[in-house]
Structure 1
Amino acid sequence: MIHDHHLDVKGALCPIPVIKAKKVLAKMSNGQRLLIETSDPLAQLDIPHMCQQFGFTLLEVEEVAGGHAFLVRK
């Protein structure tokens, strides 16, 4: 996944991955991509919901060892 910024929140539980992702995205320029890696199973629901709620684009979701990777465009 090609990205501009990386956020590793493996081991953090809901709502921490979304809170941290929103903080990173707030500092990014429009069009940039954030790779979010998480081990929280609820992130499969929370990250897409965050994108829909705040107008981000969920480009890709990939199952990785121990969790998921999400590619989000601001």
Structure 2
Amino acid sequence: MTTTKLDLTGLKCPLPALKTRKALKALKPGDLLEVRCTDPLSVIDIPNLLRETGDRVEAIERGESQIVFLIRKADDLIEKANG
């Protein structure tokens, strides 16, 4: 299991969700993706994306100027069932 960090600070909707989707495709089941955003809409867009993909948020940290998501890549079987 690995943790990949994705810095999306400064990007506006819909780029954080699109880049998160692309990064998740490259991960193996059980891997973690740490996504750092500054776009306030990412707190809506990224959880909506994860409902589609079947991946899950392990943690969300909200600071004054940024949001950090820790996302666990789902097993392929879950993705196929949702896909």
- Same fold by TM-score, threshold 0.5 exceeded? yes
Which amino acid letter does the alignment assign opposite residue 14 of structure 1? C
Q: Residue by residue, what CA displacement relative to the aligned partner does 1:13-63 show, whole Å, maximum 9, x if unpaired?
A: 011001111111101000000000000000010111111111011110001
Which of the pair has more CA radius of gyration? 2
Q: Which runs of 4+ in 1 moved over 6 A?
A: none
Aligned 1:36-55 pairs, distance under 5 A:
36-55=35-54
Q: Tell me the equivalent position of 1:7.
A: 6
Instruction: Give the Cα–Cα distance (whole angstroms) in 2 for the partners of residues 30 and 40 of structure 1.
Output: 27
Aligned 1:15-34 pairs, distance under 5 A:
15-34=14-33
Which amino acid letter does the alignment assign opposite residue 61 of structure 1? I
Which protein has greater RCO, CA pairs closer than 8 Å, 6+ apart? Answer: 1
- TM-score, normalized by length of structure 2? 0.82
Instruction: Give the Cα–Cα distance (whole angstroms) in 1 for the partners of residues 9 and 40 of structure 2.
Output: 11
Q: Tell me the equivalent position of 1:59.
A: 58
Q: Considering only aligned residues, what root-mean-square deviation do their CA atoms show, in Å?
A: 1.1
Residue-pair matches, total? 72
What's the % identity of the aligned pairs? 32
Instruction: Give the Cα–Cα distance (whole angstroms) in 2 for the partners of residues 64 and 33 of structure 1.
Output: 20
Q: Tell me the equivalent position of 2:80.
A: none
